[in-house]
Each structure stands twice: as structure tokens, then as C-alpha cells.
Amino acid sequence: MKLISNHELHKRSESELSALFCMVSKDLVRTKRGSPERRNALASLENISRARVARMRACPP
């Protein structure tokens, strides 16, 4: 699992961010506790969450 950076997420749509979050969440389940893959998955989920929050703040409904 590679780390998904904030830079990569900046150009993604909300639906793409949602799909990525789902995909990484499913991949997280298959990682071993304490592994680099698990750390990357958790960091990627955090980055995706931050990108989604930033997008919601920028474009309120």
C-alpha cells in the first residue's frame, strides 16, 4: 500500500475521494498490525478525510 498524498487528493472529486476512502478502508483490513502497509493505509485515510472536510468547507451546501 502506497501513501496517498494530499497533493494527489487535491485534484480528486468528492465521489473519487469517497471511492478511495472505501478502497483504502477495505485494504486496511488485510494489513498486519504495525506494518508499513498499515501505517500508509491509516495515513492515507487521514489525508482523504482531511481533503473531504476541506472540500465541504470550501463548498457549503
d(CA 27, CA 40): 11
Diameter of the chain measured on Cα atoms: 39
d(CA 7, CA 3): 11
How many CA atoms are closer than 13 Å to the CA of 58, on its beta-carbon side? 9
Q: What was the pLDDT predicted at 48?
A: 97
pLDDT, tens only, 2-41: 999 999 998 899 999 999 999 999 999 999 999 999 999 9
